Amino acid sequence: MPDHFYVYPAYLGRSRSRAAGRRVPAAEAIDELTSHDIVAAAQRLGYTAEVEAEKDYPRDAGSYAGRVKVTKRAGTSKARFLRLLSAELRAHPPARGPK
């Protein structure tokens, strides 16, 4: 069994439906999320994470938003991790420059 799992920004995207790939409830979804935001939040939660920028989400072939490789921890499923990650990102939203 692999010692890691992958997280795509689409898993937490507010603009997506569950059928389109979102894996958290709509109330917990995040706007404008990047793979670098996911890495920062995962590291704040104490996980080892790294960006794989050249990878794309299979449902959006050609978009190349990247993915994040996260090292597993005993007792934490991917679904639980995504909920923890979403809560961390809502508590500490990524800084964005002026539009």
Per-residue pLDDT tens for 69-91? 999 998 899 999 999 999 999 99
Instruction: Please work out, in degrees rounded to the nearest 5, the angle formed at the alpha carbon of residue 4 by the alpha carbons of 93 and 37.
Output: 15
Answer whether 66's CB lies under 8 Å from 52's CB. Answer: yes
Inside any domain, residue 31 = yes
Torsion (CA) 25, 48, 54, 94 in degrees, nearest 10: 50
- Please report, for the domain that includes residue 72, its CATH number: 3.30.56.30
Inside any domain, residue 96 = no
Inside any domain, residue 98 = no
Inside any domain, residue 65 = yes
Question: pTM, whole model, 2 decimals?
Answer: 0.90
Mean pLDDT for the stretch of residues 13-42: 94
The boundaries of the domain holding residue 62 are 4-91
